[in-house]
Structure 1
Amino acid sequence: MADVTVLVVGGGPVGLFLAAELRLGGVRPWVVERLEKPDQSKSDDDRGLTARTMQTLDLRGLGGPVRAMTEAALRRLAASTGEEPKDLAELMASLGMADFKGDFATLPLIDHDGRLQDLAPPLMVMQGEFERLLESRVAVRRGVEVVGVEAGEDEVTAVFADGTRATAEWLVGCDGGRSVVRREAGFDFPGTEPSMLARVGVVTYADELPLEPGMHRLPGGILAIAPAPTPSMTIEFDPERFDRNEVLTAAEFEASLRRVSGHDIAVTAIEQPMRITDNARQSSTYRRGRVLLAGDAAHVHSPIGGQGLNLGLQDAANLGWKLALVARGVATDELLDTYTTERYPVGAQVLRDSRAESALLRTDPQTEALRGVLGDVLREPQAARTLLELSHGLRIRYGDIGTFDPDVQLLDGRARYIGPLTDVVVPWADRVSVEPADGPGRLIRPDGYLAWTGTDPDGLRAALSRWFGA
């Protein structure tokens, strides 16, 4: 493999989006993925994209295609009921979701009085379709497994399973929760051990089920039971240690099912088996020299709440333009230090909220009482709004003024100055576009966040130098 400027390890959504951002920034990255072909077990999985993620995708013209995917899937669902809705809002109403905005630990967040109309539930997309959309923008070299990382002061060498090597100026690990890059490059990964264990699979039962299909909160845990092809799930708390490398078997699922349900239910087969925990960990830094982490490689937590993919995509949006500027030599690598500074607190907040959801899932009498109290509180619109804005990433702010501007579209991946014409921006014309406007000026970063606002030319010049190089 030839030497490259940036090597992205991991061809999932986060790695693909990061690579697309790097290309917009003028860097042609290499993306390597150990799987020969996309993981079919995940291709039909629903993934919820939150409001801030959709705003980020809108910056690059990806929001429309994603919404079209969702609408097509919902229309197929509505067609099975004989409905013919006119638009997406009517479509949601026809499926009984007009007032549903989301949930927190399965406690529903409902718009009871119309005061949450500006908030929508996460947009559900099939992971396979979403990956194909992103892969249309970048190429992936599949069947290339990284087994070692050798980092020096001026370059990084990736060692592949077939014995070949590649040297890059920069390497980014987007290779998931069991990241080889994170381990080989010496990143730490502190956090908390699992407090719950979910077992999931499409299960064949020997006899008629003694419980109604659906979700059941029981003294032994949580049970979601259904005949095939709908998946079933058990959740038990304070689990014993288990071997992650061993495949979940029908016998193991049956034993868990009996403990949770209190019934002697017999399982004859299980397909698409998986275990899920609320193991929560976060690297204390997302950069060590010329090696960086993004997505699950930098942080893992329970999938309950659906924050993982969103957190990773927003990592990529924050890192892509910065790394492109540094890799092109127009900004110093000090710019990359702002990646950890800005994204670490966001990841820490998501881990905090994820741990809170895990605690609220418990089925002991004290937690059930707490869920009852919290359910009453969440009927108040402002309380529900707080949780919704947190889960949607709408309260993310970088620095004192770094709010997101949802009204711009930055299709070319460049920053934008919006304000009175000034010669101050001219030296950065290859990195910053100009949009004449009256009033105070605004400098919008490529990721949509505000970098500067005001009328002082010296302040604008300082912001341009800080974020976009000398």
Structure 2
Amino acid sequence: MQTTQKQHTYDVIIAGAGPVGLFLACELALAKCSVLILEKAEDPASPLKQLPFGVRGLSAPSIESLYRRGLLSRLEVHQKLKNPHQNARQGAERQVGHFAGIPFTEGNIDTSRWGHRLAGSPEVSMLTTMHEMETVLSRRAESLGVEMRRGVALEGFEQDDSGVTVSWANDSFNGKWLVGCDGARSVVRKLAGFEFAGTEPEFTGYSASVDIADPEKLKSGRNVTPQGMYLQSQPGFVVIQDFDGGAFHSVEQPITLQHVQEVLRRVSGTDVSLTALHMATTWTDRARQATHYRMGRVLLVGDAAHIHSPLGGQGLNLGLGDAMNLGWKLAATIRGTAPKGLLDTYFTERYPVGMKVLDWSRAQVAIMKPDAWSRALHAILSDVINTRDGATYFAARVWGIHTRYNLGGNQPLLGCSVPNFELTNGTKVGELMHDGRGILLDFEGDESLKALAADYNYQLNYVPGRARVQLGLSALLIRPDGIIAWSSNGKPDCVELQKAADRWFVRV
């Protein structure tokens, strides 16, 4: 390894410039950390990211995170795209999601059961593309001073108690921390030796851009068949699930026109003819999760920490949630303002969320398998999802409405995402979080709370003022990631508040 001078040491080196790595970089840079992103791809533009099957659905926690950092208004794709599940028939109820291909409709969802979602809160779901997310987040990262080097494939690293040295070709980079955001086949995860436990795939999935000679032979929308599943959301774009145990995907062989046609014919039960293959990729339902997200000064985020089927579009949302949770905790650790054990809460909070998503993915695959048992389960769940209770439950799960961290205690909304309270002056809580700091929200203007907040200096903003709707609460402590860490529905107990604040912040 050749070096001619002492190198700059970054606070954090991030491997991977996808949406998750970029969002984490933005969170760290917002907290004044120096960040270097290493990305093996020289060109960020990938045609696959811009095709219709590159469309992704953002869930409520992701939308809230982007809103709280002032980024939501920069997304425009959702304004141009129609929901790909929407039934085009006149007067038909709008399909807004699915579980294993079983649709649930907007009219069947009882949003009144989500009482903490106030009027004026961000949407619960939204469409975007990987290309749009990366474009918006790249611009944000650049404005915050994040450095990025493309065409740099991490080849190795060494770590000690003070930091990490990352090697590439004849060069090296020094950082206090290394974070792997480098996807399902994470080099960081493999080199560090993280255990990656889970289950093997049941199918090979195909996403393809094709010319179809006789598209009328294929039904529109998502179709579960005795041989698998196929989806024709737009003419010329197909998604197929072939229950081959993931065999074709595992051998990494070229995807040919003839092969895609053969699979599509078998799964659809038609003699449809394809005349051209423009682009295609494969994927599986392999479901694995790292048993730990940290090893020394190396951390895993997003698909590097967990992989699963893309059914339901949970992967991007899960990764963005990881980044939002880790960013402020790692920044506080670097600044020396982290209470003991703060960084450990990244794993204890996010691992259970990831585990639930993996099981959600496995459950969908289990009822899509081409056998009699799965078809029976599919029929029963179709009946359940077509009820008001069923649709409301599945929508809440898919959109992350009830995501909650177990912080102990029984206070109202403890561990939940803070509602977007609107103060009487018109300001909304989400708009007060652009700086990435915690908030002590005091609806009653209690001077003792103001004095307590001052003990934490710049880590915590004190915000007094009544809200138009207060949900019976008098005060809340909100973490930088928007999670409620303490609340009161009467006269605040300053002793309990200080205990809660000391768990997440350091008095100065």
When normalised by structure 2's length, the TM-score is 0.82
> After the TM superposition, which residues 126-145 of structure 1 pair with which residues of structure 2 at under 5 Å, given as runs?
126-139=129-142, 140-145=148-153
In 2, Cα distance between equivalents of 1:306 and 1:201: 17
Q: Does 1:448 align with 2:482?
A: yes
Which region of structure 1 is more displaced relative to structure 2, 358-367 or 373-382?
358-367
Q: Post-superposition shift, 1:300?
A: 0.5
What do you get for the CA RMSD once the two structures are aligned? 2.7
After superposition, the Cα gap between the structure-2 partners of 1:252 and 1:296, relative to the gap in structure 1 and judged at 3 Å, is: same
Secondary structure at the counterpart of residue 361 of structure 1: coil
CA distance in 2, matches of 1:332, 1:156: 23
Over the matched positions of the two proteins, sequence identity in percent amounts to: 37
8 A contact 2:93–2:105 mirrored in 1:
no
Task: Report what 1:279 is aligned to.
Answer: 286
- The SS at the match of 2:439 is strand
Shift, 1:368, TM fit:
2.3
Question: Structure 2 CA distance, aligned partners of 1:291 and 1:175?
Answer: 13
Q: How far did 1:237 drift?
A: 1.3
Q: Cα gap change, 1:93/1:464 in structure 2, threshold over 3 Å: closer, same or farther?
A: farther
Offset, 1:255: 3.2
How many residues align? The count is 452
- Match of 1:335, SS? coil
| Partner residue, 1:50 | 59
Instruction: Choose which of 124, 127, 130 in structure 2 pairs with 1:124.
Output: 127
Pairing 1:36–2:52 present: no
Q: Provide the residue aligned with 1:202 in structure 2.
A: 209
Deviation at 1:346, TM superposition (A): 0.3
Q: Does 1:154 align with 2:144?
A: no
Q: 2:242 matched to which residue of 1?
A: 236
Q: Which of 413, 416, 420 does residue 403 from structure 1 map onto?
A: 416
The structural deviation recorded for 1:146 is 0.8
Per-residue CA deviation, residues 375-422 of structure 1 (Å, 9 max, x unaligned), is 111122122111111111121112232111131220110000112233
CA contact (8 A) 1:100 1:121 kept: no
Gaps of 5+ in 1: 78-90
Alignment of 1:50-449 (within 5 A): 50-66=59-75, 68-74=76-82, 99-112=94-107, 115-116=110-111, 122-139=125-142, 140-160=148-168, 162-204=169-211, 208=214, 211-214=217-220, 215-224=222-231, 230-239=236-245, 241-242=247-248, 243-262=250-269, 267-332=274-339, 334-398=341-405, 399-400=407-408, 401-407=414-420, 408-409=429-430, 410-419=433-442, 420-422=446-448, 423-437=451-465, 440-449=474-483
- Counterpart AA for 1:15: G
3-state SS of the aligned residue for 1:387?
Answer: helix
Query: In structure 2, what is the Cα distance between the partners aligned to 1:240 and 1:166?
Result: 37
Q: Return the offset for 1:303.
A: 0.5
Deviations 1:284-306 (A, max 9, x none): 11111111111100001000110
Q: What is the one-letter code of the residue matched to 1:421?
A: E
Compared with structure 1, are the counterparts of its residues 93 and 335 closer, same or farther at alpha carbon in structure 2 (3 Å cutoff)? farther
Which residue is equivalent to 1:466?
503
Give the superposition deviation at 1:175.
0.5
Letter matched to residue 65 of structure 1: R
Amino acid at match of 2:477: L
- Asked if the contact 2:246–2:284 (Cα under 8 Å) also holds between the matched residues in 1, the reply is no
Give the unaligned 5+ runs of structure 2: 1-6, 118-122, 143-147, 409-413, 421-428, 467-472
Hey, what's the Cα distance between the residues in 1 that align with 2:216 and 2:499? Answer: 69
Q: Deviations over 1:124-168 (max 9, x none)?
A: 1122122111111113321121111222222111111x2211111
1:13 partnered with 2:19: yes
Do the aligned partners of residues 26 and 210 (structure 1) sit closer, same or farther apart at CA in structure 2, a change above 3 Å counting?
closer
Secondary structure of 1:402's partner? coil
Q: What TM-score do you get using the length of structure 1 for normalisation?
A: 0.88
CA-to-aligned-CA distance 1:332-386 (integer Å, 9 cap, x gap): 5621100000000000000010111111222333322322221111122122111
2:203 and 2:246 in contact (8 A); partners too: no
What letter corresponds to residue 359 of structure 1 in structure 2? A
Contact 1:203/1:269 (<8 A) preserved? yes
Q: 2: distance between equivalents of 1:371 and 1:97?
A: 23
Moved more, 303-312 or 218-227: 218-227
CA distance in 1 between counterparts of 2:482 and 2:231 reads: 40
3-state SS of 2:196 partner: coil
Task: Answer with 44-53 or 355-364: which moved more.
Answer: 355-364
User: What residue in structure 2 maps to residue 81 of structure 1?
Assistant: none
Alignment-mate amino acid for residue 396 of structure 2: E
Distance 1:122 1:57 in 2: 12
> Using the alignment, how far apart are the partners of 1:360 and 1:61 within structure 2?
40
Greater CA deviation, 418-427 or 312-321? 418-427
Name the CA distance, whole Å, in 1 between partners of 2:460 and 2:151.
38
